[in-house]
Structure 1
């Protein structure tokens, strides 16, 4: 009888708690956790939404890769990539913020939300794609070779660089460096912080050749290499598509970027920007 009375008392207490809007502790925790998870999911969203709310498109790049991004005489960052993201910001109706970042830290900076997108002549490859996503390629380049004057007669192909006694230079952390290590293992490799340093090493006769992207070597050869007796092997020996990089898990932003690229290639904007930077060397006088 006492047991029945105790059970009735407990039941009455439970009914009273429910009537007063209270819940036992173990029942109240789960909904709160669910609410937090929902709020977290909503706060993530797409980078595109955050860009629109912020009113600014933040672009990560390293100014020093001609003609994609570089600093002019007035201290402004200019180039092919800069013009493309300027059009991108216009299409979004937001302001543009360029975040100049050292190349070896540019992917970590994207992952830690220092900016929304990388637009810095970045080659799409499988290693990078494990960490970040790429939009469709906006231009195709490849590795080429610039040979010093002393070795111009004996180096006729990139294959000739894969030999002992040969010293090859490139920029640290680039696909040029990867190509040398992978395809020229017998050569001595020297890495540099900038492309210019790597090419000057060859011009000054301290290295046999420099391996780097076609546009950059073509510019250096036209400016200084040809007069210095260097040889330019201008046929790319690698296939390297360049693409804009964003954080993973954002299909909305990726979709927008691909549609933006498709639109600019069909309405004349892309062609005009391409011809400005690759169809003429007039811009060189403003960056020297």
Structure 2
């Protein structure tokens, strides 16, 4: 006997897919976007809504707890919000297979790094990933509170000064104010900052090499396993057909999504 998904039945009955997104994580979700650039998560949600032949309703939220509560109440069916899956979060939601792989990455103040050896042509960048910063004395970090990146820093740099903030933007501002010498966030968050403000590279070195495999996944309520099978198949097909790579290229290989007043 074939199982049906109660969630999909509800979506098809109401003809609406309700998805929560991250209000402060462009270009995954972009408020008042440029035409044709609503955000990577929004376009992925649109594709799934088309797959089901229903309308899409998008609700911007701020914290993981808000996403989890909304799913639990049945007010949304998917949280599509640049979320990294973790054992801690698994207590509250189920995660699909990843649609993107990420890593903790950083922007480090060039002035805090040791000078490169004089008279040598340096062919290898000395600081490729965050682990390379373990040799830098007096390193201090700013990071989003209780994020996977915060946990990574606490485990990897137990003796370093780590300051955590309620938003990634506040954490980044601490770097700009010279209160810390390295801001840590997801690879894609750092990529987006550099697209909005390419001149950051003059003062800060982007450190983008992989140190751990973060799975950016959709989250759903802990009650409908059939729905997860359905979403996983959709994600697999979206990747296999090259559509996921097209979205990555659209938002991370060009800066056309950046709004004029943001570009500096």
Q: Which TM-score applies when normalising by structure 2?
A: 0.82
Q: Which residue of 2 aligns with 1:231?
A: 205
C-alpha distance in 1, partners of 2:134/2:97?
A: 33
Within the alignment, does 1:101 sit opposite 2:75 as a pair?
Answer: no
Greater gyration radius? 1
The alpha carbon displacement at 1:45 in A equals 6.1
> 1:51: how far off?
1.1
Whole-angstrom CA distance in 2 between matches of 1:267 and 1:149: 41
Q: Secondary structure at the match of 2:18?
A: strand
Consecutive unaligned residues of structure 2, counting only runs of 5 or more, are 116-125
Q: CA RMSD in A?
A: 2.7
Is 1:139 paired with 2:113? no
After TM superposition, give the deviation of residue 135 of structure 1 in Å. 1.2
- The Cα of 1:133 is off from its aligned counterpart by 1.1
In the alignment, the residues of structure 2 paired with residue 94 and residue 73 of structure 1 have an alpha-carbon distance, to the nearest angstrom, of: 22
- 1:212-223 to 2 correspondences below 5 Å: 212-222=185-195, 223=197
- In the alignment, the residues of structure 1 paired with residue 191 and residue 240 of structure 2 have an alpha-carbon distance, to the nearest angstrom, of 28
Query: How far apart are 1:243 and its partner, in Å?
Result: 0.8
Q: Is the 8 A contact 1:167 1:208 kept in 2?
A: yes
Give, in angstroms, the shift of residue 252 of structure 1. Answer: 1.8
In structure 2, the residue matched to 1:7 is none
Unaligned runs of 5+ in 1: 1-43
Residues 246-269 of structure 1: CA deviation (Å, up to 9, x unaligned): 112312211111111122223343
The structure 2 residue matched to 1:276, chosen from 229, 250, 264, is 250
Aligned length: 244
Asked whether 1:151 is paired with 2:112, we answer: yes
TM-score normalized by structure 1?
A: 0.76
Deviation at 1:287, TM superposition (A): 7.5
Give the distance between the partners of 1:192 and 1:162, measured in 2 at CA.
25
The answer to whether the aligner puts 1:46 opposite 2:6 as a matched pair is yes
Superposition deviation, residue 104 in structure 1 = 4.1
Pick 1 or 2: higher relative contact order, CA cutoff 8 A, min separation 6. 2
What residue number does 1:243 align with? 217
Equivalent residue number for residue 46 of structure 2: 86
- The match for 1:110 is 71
Q: Higher helix share goes to which structure?
A: 1
Q: Give, in angstroms, the shift of residue 82 of structure 1.
A: 0.6
Is 278-287 or 97-106 further displaced after alignment?
A: 278-287
Q: Which residue of 1 aligns with 2:30?
A: 70
